[in-house]
Each structure stands twice: as structure tokens, then as C-alpha cells.
Amino acid sequence: MKVTFKYKTGEGPVTLDVEDGLTLMEAARLEGVDGILADCGGGAICGTCHVVVDSVWFDKCGPLDATEDVLLGLSPEREGTSRLACQIEVVDAVDGISVTVPESQI
């Protein structure tokens, strides 16, 4: 599966071949993608894997739960299509997804 990480700073993008079933956060950590800190390791309790999903992919990522919504609310860079990368599983529906890494994580 293909996943592309873009940057608001203009660097990149980084396109990865990702194993089916991993999360975007896991793929980013395995490949050393800059800007994805993932301090909690995927437990959706820290908000340090914030990404902005390109709008064409947003509805394919599954629903945003209440905890994720609260954590994203702490980010000054939250946008309408913000998600935590640990909550987006790489499956056929998101093959080719493109996300933007904010300039800073909370």
C-alpha cells in the first residue's frame, strides 16, 4: 500500500510502501518520517502523530472518536481533516492516501 507524507514546510514528500494492517503512525515510525513523534506508541493518548488528511481521503479513514477529537482540539494546527495517524489503519480503502505533517506536534 502507498502512503505519502507531505510537509507544510515544503520539504518532502515522502512516499512509503506500507504493509497492510499497520497504522500510518507505525509506518512513519518504522521509516523514520520526520515530524511524527508518536510518544505514546499508538495508544491515542498523546496527540503527537497529528496529520492533516487530504480531503479526498478523509471519509475513507473511518470515524473520528471522542478521545481523538479531544486530543486534536489541543493542537493549534488542527484543521477540518485532522486525524491522529495512530488511528488510521492502512487498508485497501486508503491505498494511495496523502497526509500533511504539521510544523509542530503537541
Task: Check residue 66 and give its pLDDT.
Answer: 95
pTM value?
A: 0.95
Angle CA(99)–CA(33)–CA(77) in degrees, nearest 5? 50
Task: Check residue 9 and give its pLDDT.
Answer: 83
Task: Check residue 11 and give its pLDDT.
Answer: 84
User: Rounded mean pLDDT of 11-36?
Assistant: 95
Convert the pLDDT of each residue in 42-99 to its tens digit: 989 999 999 999 999 999 999 999 999 999 999 999 999 999 999 999 999 999 999 9
In a domain, 94, yes or no: yes
Task: Name residue, grid cell 492502512.
Answer: 90
Task: Check residue 10 and give its pLDDT.
Answer: 83
In a domain, 106, yes or no: no
Higher-confidence position of 11 and 77:
77
In a domain, 78, yes or no: yes
Q: Give the CATH number, domain containing residue 47.
A: 3.10.20.30
In a domain, 12, yes or no: yes
Q: How many structural domains compose the chain?
A: 1
Contact 13, 6 (CB under 8 A): yes
